[in-house]
Structure 1
Amino acid sequence: MQLKSKIAALSILPLLFAVAVVCMLVIFQNQRLGEQQARLIESSILASKRAELKNYVGMALSLVTPLYDNGRDDAETKRRVLAILARINFGADGYFFVYDRQGRNMMHPRQGELVGKDLWDMTDPRGLPVIQALLASAQTGSGFQHYAWQKPSTGEVTDKLAYVVMLERWGWMLGTGIYLEDVDQAIAQVRDEVAGGIYATMLAIASVALVAVLLVFAGGLALNVSEHRLADRKLQLLTQRIVSLQEEERSRVSRELHDGISQLLVSIKFQFELSGLELSAGNSQALETLHKGTERLAGAIGEVRRISHDLHPSLLDTLGLPAAVGQLVAEFEQRSGLRIEYQNELGDTPLSDGMAVALFRILQEALTNIERHAQASSVAISLDGRAQQVRLRVRDDGIGFSPRQLDTVNGGIGLRNIRERVEHFGGRFALTSQPGRTELMVTLPAPAATLG
């Protein structure tokens, strides 16, 4: 994937995800608030209708109470009560009804065909036994019942809220009801308004998101150009640095060859020439001069081995990292005079060739920094391996330094090279320093963990 596509994916996709989450939250919150508002409106309307029904029933009772309380239970008195109730109307579909305890209809001014019929087992479309439920509400004292009934003005079955009371002496149930179409209409209107609000909100969010995406896209293009320029500059600096490192390494090897091997060889040559002249002259010192030349030749061979070991330790290829580290530690202790404590717990942890070389070079660089800058008296080195990782820890008791100088220590190479080697293998690099204690810890993933 090109850098341009990566920038677009990393900038626009999270933005779109955030917008989608915001939209879902807005929809959820609006729907929840809409339902709460609908329930609140429904509760308020039903409360007002309950109060209205109680008033209607109270008014009807006030009209029939004089006849009911006179103590006469004859048929004529009951007929007069039913006639009074039949004449009471309110609104287009407001009327009173009367049933006895057995569910027989005593009076129904809008549906005369029901008068005298036993409606005990009649149910509404939801399966509710209407008359039984009304009688139960009247007898328990709650009085209110919600059911479905045919509306006289339209002939359609719709929801109805009724309030009933018992005329106990006669065994009658008196009640009236109000149809709830206006409640359904009010709730539907609220839900429509909520849906319209959600649509308007989504449209506004989509507009803002579109503008944001365009701005991010434009910023991404500008950043893409800037990153290309920066990458070109970094590539040039990296190339220059590689060339500089090569020249520094060549200069170091050249100095060691010139100052070490070359001078030793010249000295050996003089010793051999001198021994040859002494042999020609029969001088008894010729053999001793030859021995001195031979000793210097052994020193030259050792110097060649040292330079070769610095370039690439042969023990890494033959005996592995622990042996190479042991030799490096022994040589460093002998050369620097510092007290070294080395613990090897690597065990059978597998290491790739590149990782072994990297760990060896990291330790070599760390010891070089300690020798040049730390002013330490002792160094502790531990190398341990586990199934998932290999860890190298180097600790000294020197003067310490500020970790912010990481990029400037050792002329810009030193610890920065260590960090780059660690990052190459996907490992972790930690450096802490204070007077009396500086610790470097490198953790690299084992090859088995990498493959897993």
Structure 2
Amino acid sequence: MSKIRTQKLSNANVKLPFKLKILLIAILPIIAVSALTGWLIHIGANSLIEVETRLIEKRILDFRQQELKNYISLARTAIDQDYVDETVDIRVAQKAVQQILHNLNYGDDGYFFAYDRKGTSLVNAPSPDLIGKNIWYIKDEDGKFLIQDLMQKAVNGGGFTNYIWNKPSTGEKTLKLGYSIYLPKWGWMLGTGLYLDDIKQQINSSRADMRASTRKAETILFLVALLAVVVTAIAVAALHYNEHKLADEKLKALTRRIVDVQEEERKRVSNDLHDGINQLLVSVRHRLELAIDHISKPDKALPLMNKSLSILDTSISDVRRISKALHPSALDNIGLAVAIRELGSDFEESTQIETQIRADTIGNRLSETAKIAIYRVVQEALTNVVRHANASVVQIEMKVDDDNKIVTLKIWDNGEGLKTPDQPSSGNGLGLRNMVERMESQGGNLSIRNGVSGGLELIGLMPQV
């Protein structure tokens, strides 16, 4: 089952259009980098938000603590006259201080409280029912002995205590920050506090603002990534269009060249048939007509018949030559190496140009189309030697390299060589370009250059099957 699934997946991948593959190769890195950047920004922003939240909370608490100290300082100033006056009865002074503290308040929930050393409530404006009661052992919802804690902080020079207490404006138990000092003359603990629920609201509001900014940055990043993807897609589409257009132009040019080559080949075959075989057959026909006229005169008819036979032999040779030029049947019968030797021998015989050939047996190392390509390259090279090289010697070498799995073809002549370095790709180098394209069409390559000792040198490499 897993093999079937793997085959289905591989088939699906193979069926992807080339354009889509290029698009995915271009877009996927952008998406991956954008996603990674967005994730890092998200993680970093959350971490930064937490750090900033703690800093904001600390600044607010520092401000509130200073605010509580200021309120206690104001309360101490308000009661100081009665507290330090030794001429007034202590009970009277304490009653006056209690009244002053009862009347002091700030905001909706700001008030002062006082307890003696035993934990008896002396001042608590929002909760008058607690006055005179001992709540030394009272605990808040977190299990803290809050009066004892406030007293200890006060005796130790003043300090802050977090505890849960009823909020007057809502009647709900709320976290409160208390600050207490000690009045040693009377053994009282004087304190006040601020409820911290508004601090949470401020922190949550700040956190929400920062998260909104983060989401805005992430949205901008997403839009930028989306724009990059769209631009990349457009660029890939434009590139694909240009490549397609260029490929169409090259295909049209190649088609024109193929047509030109076909027309040239047809013209050559037509000329060979018209100028060679046709003339020979006409001559045979004429001589046969004369032989018929002189059939009663054997001494005149016999030379005409012999001449006709000779002409027919020449015609047969021409037909074979043209047939060989159209398709090298020798490859099917005697193999590539022998066919090249035979081609060189015929070339030397017809042109009187010395032709040296060393060719290894190929066997089944090359495909039939690759053998034909090499044969055509040799054939075209010899044609070029006759037409353009003005050479007296041609060397052809075909070697088998089984270690590197290639067949090497070298053709050299001692003629004039290339007049310009770019001649193989120029407009007049159709034959040379054809040779290069023949080799490349079979997975090989062909280099064309001037030889070290002069002339033209062709080196071709064809991979073995």
> What is the deviation of 1:437?
3.2
Cα separation, 1, equivalents of 2:276 and 2:435: 28
1:191-241 deviation digits (Å, cap 9, x = unpaired): xxxxxxxxxxx9999987765544332211112222232333333333333
8 A Cα contact 2:424 2:448, kept in partner: no
* 2:329 is aligned with 1:311: no
Residue 376 and residue 12 in structure 1: after superposition, are their counterparts in 2 closer, same or farther (change >3 A)?
A: farther
**Counterpart position of 1:131:** none
Picking from 359, 370, 373, the partner of 1:355 is: 370
**CA RMSD of the aligned region, Å?**
3.6
1:217 corresponds to? 233
Contact residue 403 and residue 431 of structure 1 kept, 8 A? no
Other-structure match for 1:260: 276
Which position in structure 1 is the counterpart of 2:409? 392
CA contact (8 A) 2:284 2:308 kept: yes
1:58-137 matched pairs, under 5 angstroms: none
The CA deviation at 1:292 is: 0.9
Quick check: 1:331 aligned with 2:346? yes
Counterpart secondary structure, 1:399: coil
Selected match of 1:245 from 234, 244, 261? 261
Tell me: CA distance 1:9–1:325, structure 2 relative to 1, closer, same or farther (3 Å): farther
For 1:417, the equivalent position in structure 2 comes to: 434
The one-letter code of the counterpart of 2:370 is M
1-structure distance, mates of 2:437, 2:30: 33
Q: Which of 290, 294, 304 is the equivalent residue of 1:289?
A: 304
Residue 427 in structure 1 maps to residue 447 in structure 2? no
1:9, distance to aligned residue in structure 2 (A) = 4.4
> Contact 1:3–1:224 at 8 Å: present in 2 too?
no
Q: Residue in 2 aligned with 1:370?
A: 385
Go from structure 1 to structure 2 and tell me whether the alpha carbon gap of 1:286 and 1:408 turns closer, same or farther (over 3 Å shift).
Answer: same
What are the Cα deviations for residues 406-440 of structure 1, in whole angstroms up to 9, with x where unaligned? 2336x452111111111111112222225813211
Shift of 1:348: 4.5
The one-letter code sitting in structure 1 at the alignment partner of 2:378 is L
Give the gaps of 5 or more residues in structure 1: 27-201, 448-452
> Aligned match of 1:344 in 342, 355, 359?
359
Q: Could you say which structure has the larger radius of gyration? A: 2
Cα distance, 1:229–1:283 mapped onto 2, change above 3 Å: same
Equivalent position of 2:243 in the other structure = 227
TM-score normalised by L of structure 2 = 0.52
Number of residue pairs matched?
A: 276
Are 1:445 and 2:445 an aligned pair?
Answer: no
Does the 8 Å CA contact 2:369/2:442 hold for their aligned counterparts? no
Instruction: Summarize the Cα distance change of 1:244–1:279 in structure 2 as closer, same or farther, 3 Å threshold.
Output: same
The residue identity in structure 1 corresponding to 2:361 is L
Change (3 A) 1:417 1:213: same
Show the counterpart of 1:174. none
* Shift in CA distance, 207/347, structure 1 to aligned 2, threshold 3 Å: same
Q: Which amino acid aligns with 2:462?
A: L
- Identity level (%): 40
TM-score normalised according to structure 1 size: 0.54
